[in-house]
Amino acid sequence: MKKFTTTLAALVILGSSSLFADGHKVKVGMITTLSGGGSGLGIDVRDGFMLAVKGNKNISVITKDDQRKPDIAVQLADKMIQSDKVDVLTGIIWSNLAMAVVPATVNQGKFYLSPNAGPSKLAGKGCHKNYFNVAWQNDNLHEAAGGYANSAGFKNSFILAPNYPAGKDALTGYKRYFKGSLAGEIYTKLGQKDYAAEIAQIRASGADSVFFFLPGGMGIGFMKQFSQSGIKLPVVGPAFSFDQGILKAVGNAALGVKNTSQWSKDIDNDANKKFVKDFQSEYGRLPSLYASQGYDTGKLLISAMSKAKVKDKDKFRDALRKANFSSTRGKFSFDKNHHPIQDIYVREVIKEGKILTNKIVSVGLKDHSNAYVSECKM
Amino acid sequence: MISILFFEQLLNGIQFGTMLFLMSAGLTLIFGVMGLINLAHGSFYMIGAFSAALIASLTGSFWLALLASLSGAAIAGVLIEIIIIRRLYRRDHLDQVLATFALILLLSEAVRWCFGAFPLYLDIPKNLNGTLPILDDIIYSKYRLFIIFMGLLIATGLYILITKTRLGIRIRAGQNDRQMISALGVDISKLYTIVFALGASLAGLAGAMIGAIQSVEVGMGEPILILAFVVIVIGGIGSIKGAFIGSILVGVTDTIGRIFLPELLKVFMEPASATSVGSSIGSMLIYILMALILIIKPSGLFGKT
């Protein structure tokens, strides 16, 4: 009899848990850059996300490499939606890939949580109820850089960025806040590594400061070549060229450079402390801002799952919109167009022992949203 | 002011060109002698850079690192030639393209497996840091002058090797008639291995020298591989002289074009759109150059018709 009751109890538990699990399970499709140039960014986003959802049995993740190619990203998204039947997509690093994948994805009723790319088109006219950006709108960090340039007394900046959607957003963002004049404005080729020609132009331009947005390997080349060129102008840029993943490769050329970021490893809150500690023990390296974005994306997803089933789209969307999770950035909420309202910090590259890293110098923009909210009809 | 800038950009173009030459010389030699299209040439560029970064981090010496890049890429070249490439000489070009493309994927994965996905650190030696005044107002990076110097040195070395030595005679004979020189008793497979390793080591050296001012990361070789193909098509496939002229032409056109085209467009367009249109056309310029040259000389500047 005792045996019978335990079996029965076990059956009931099994039955209920499988019933329970059915509605609450979420299948995530992660499309990110894991090979070739720029793979460090995708790997950090993936690792941050996986760390956040680690041990959560209700989340299953399919990860695929987009090789930084828009056509491949589109194919992967189609396959994930049609044959893998994922509920949520995430992971894309590059804005040109996001522009190719996100609109079709959200129009098919899937949720897209962006851990990185935040092109202006998707924040303004192209905003969508199923699209959430957990990182920033592309202009944000550059706007903070423009603001910092004013406070540092720069009057005449030379600005450059790669010729792709995020590059254009970057220069627009900087110009929106920077009050001085421009000594020059250049778009470089995406993936360009040699900046001798651009540096010669900077030298000849009579600028008093340089602003650049060159994410990934592009920034490594620029900083090294700029410091060898003997030009002594102050440099300011977004965190992308000074994040943990590439500082080692830039070396001392980066020391002392001011850069703007929504995240830093020394932001003082419990969620961030836990994240930095867990990330280090899990992967044996310091996290980057990309990793923090991946992590926050994972935590946001979990917070929504605890409130609603993913199949119940309206409820799930409301739960996402509330952003009821403890972000590594501290205060975090979504504006009407589903892009973050958050503080953007000014950081400085320093040396901790032998390791190059960043520390916060000041808050650049407080509770900062984005310039496209009013264009979004949602 | 404009002329100073122009001169500096010209030097930048020549520096870029000499680097391209190191890549394309090997590519064109391998094609000329063995008739092999080697897409994996960019991988040797990467292997050279990673060997250099490894040795530089162990020993701290840039010069040892350069040596390591040469030998690392050469060793990889010999191994790959013996294990894989050797089987491809008799196959048609489609098979070669497929096999060497697979090699790119394999080698990139292997390097990532060994070194991780994050860029490595490789810096230039202290005594080449900074700038050097040349002429009155023009200052130029010492390291870039060093790259130009090395490029010219290697170009001269290759010229002597090809025209004045026995190995060079065999290489030229191989280009002209493969069957005949093997019939004359020259160990053709050894010659092939030597040529392949030579090409690989030049690419490796280029990778290390450029890696020191750019970044050492997986997949760094592919963008420059495409340019190297443009160079050998312009110069005429198989011709070292063509590769040299083609490299300088491509280097200078690309550099001058992408800087001065936007400036030129600003004369009759508003600045913001001039920058974006100008830089878009600037990046197409070398392909336009290639198309024009192929219209006039279908087999390239120094190609055999």
Instruction: Report yes or no: B213 at the A interface, CB cutoff 8 Å.
Output: yes
Contact A186 B121 (CB under 8 A): no
Closest by alpha carbon to B30, among B203, B218, B207, B150?
Answer: B203
Distance CA(B30)–CA(B33), nearest Å, equals: 5
Which DSSP category does B137 fall into? T
**CB–CB contacts below 8 A, A to B:** 127
CA distances in angstroms from A236 to A242, A247, A324, B145, listed in the order given: 10, 15, 33, 28
Q: Distance, in angstroms, between B255 CA and closest chain A CA?
A: 6
Q: What are phi and psi of A346, to 5 degrees?
A: -100, 125
Contact B213 A249 (CB under 8 A): no
Torsion A252-A253-A257-A263 (CA) sign? negative
Res B268: pLDDT: 82
**Cβ-based contacts of B143 with chain A (< 8 Å):** 228
Q: Distance, in angstroms, between B140 CA and closest chain A CA?
A: 8
Q: Distance, in angstroms, between B170 CA and closest chain A CA?
A: 37
Which DSSP category does B147 fall into? H
What are the residue ranges in chain A where pLDDT is below 50?
A: 11-21
Contact B218 A36 (CB under 8 A): yes
CA distances in angstroms from A205 to A233, B139, B141, B142, listed in the order given: 12, 15, 18, 21
A358's tokens: 């960043």
Contact B112 A35 (CB under 8 A): yes
B272's tokens: 């913001």
Contact A196 B15 (CB under 8 A): yes
Name which of A200, A229, A230 is nearest B9 (Cβ-Cβ).
A200
Which DSSP category does B17 fall into? H
Name which of A185, A189, A221 is nearest B283 (Cβ-Cβ).
A189
Residue of A nearest to B140 (CA): A229
Contact A221 B213 (CB under 8 A): yes
Q: Distance, in angstroms, between A201 CA and closest chain B CA?
A: 7
Q: Distance, in angstroms, between B20 CA and closest chain A CA?
A: 13
Residue of A nearest to B108 (CA): A36
**Cβ-based contacts of B10 with chain A (< 8 Å):** none
**Cβ-based contacts of A245 with chain B (< 8 Å):** 118-119
Contact A187 B275 (CB under 8 A): yes
Residue of A nearest to B122 (CA): A249
Chain centre distance of CA A291? 8
**Cβ-based contacts of B214 with chain A (< 8 Å):** 193-194, 217, 220-221, 224-225
Window B:32-91, CB contacts with A under 8 Å? none
Write down the residue that tokens 């490894």 correspond to: B54
From first to last of its 305 residues, chain B has per-residue pLDDT tens of 568 888 888 999 999 999 999 999 999 999 988 889 999 999 999 999 999 999 999 999 999 999 999 999 999 999 999 999 999 988 899 999 999 999 999 998 899 889 887 788 888 888 888 888 887 777 888 999 999 999 999 999 999 999 899 999 988 888 888 788 888 888 888 999 999 999 999 999 999 999 999 888 888 898 899 999 999 999 998 889 999 999 999 999 999 988 888 888 888 887 777 877 887 888 899 999 999 999 999 999 988 76
**Cβ-based contacts of B217 with chain A (< 8 Å):** 37, 40, 217, 249
Distance CA(A264)–CA(B305), nearest Å, equals: 61
Write down the residue that tokens 């309206």 correspond to: A314
CA angle, residues A75, A81, A84, in degrees to nearest 5: 100
A53's tokens: 């959802």
Res B1: pLDDT: 54
Q: Distance, in angstroms, between B175 CA and closest chain A CA?
A: 34
Long-range contacts of B161-166 (CB under 8 A, 24+ apart): B162/B240
* Residues in Cβ contact with B75 at an 8 Å cutoff, skipping those fewer than 6 apart: none
**Cβ-based contacts of A230 with chain B (< 8 Å):** 130-131, 139, 141
- What global pTM score does this model have? 0.82
Contact B275 A185 (CB under 8 A): yes
Q: E-strand spans in chain B?
A: 131-134, 138-141
Q: Distance, in angstroms, between B85 CA and closest chain A CA?
A: 24
Single-letter residue type at A36 = G
Q: Domain ranges for chain B, please list them.
A: 2-220
Q: Distance, in angstroms, between A195 CA and closest chain B CA?
A: 9
Res A21: pLDDT: 46
B210's tokens: 């450029």
Question: ipTM, 2 decimals?
Answer: 0.79
**Cβ-based contacts of B219 with chain A (< 8 Å):** 35-37, 39
Contact yes or no for B104/B40 (Cβ under 8 A): yes
**Cβ-based contacts of A196 with chain B (< 8 Å):** 12, 15-16, 141, 144, 255
Q: Distance, in angstroms, between B235 CA and closest chain A CA?
A: 23
- The residue of A32, A33, A39 whose CB has the most chain B CBs within 10 angstroms, and thus the best one to mutate to test that interface, is A39
CA distances in angstroms from A166 to A177, A190, A335, B223, listed in the order given: 17, 10, 20, 21
Residue A312 CB coordination number (10 Å) = 12
Residue-range domains of chain A with CATH: 7-136+267-334 (3.40.50.2300), 140-261+344-374 (3.40.50.2300)
Binding-site residues on chain A for chain B (CB distance < 8 A): 34-37, 39-40, 43, 163, 168, 185-189, 191, 193-194, 196-198, 200-201, 203-204, 217, 220-221, 224-225, 228-230, 245-246, 248-251
Res B2: pLDDT: 67
Write down the residue that tokens 């280097």 correspond to: B251
Name which of B210, B213, B255 is nearest A228 (Cβ-Cβ).
B213
Residue of B nearest to A216 (CA): B119
- The residue of B107, B146, B217 whose CB has the most chain A CBs within 10 angstroms, and thus the best one to mutate to test that interface, is B217
pLDDT per position as a tens digit, A101-159: 999 999 999 999 999 999 999 999 999 999 999 999 999 999 999 999 999 999 999 99
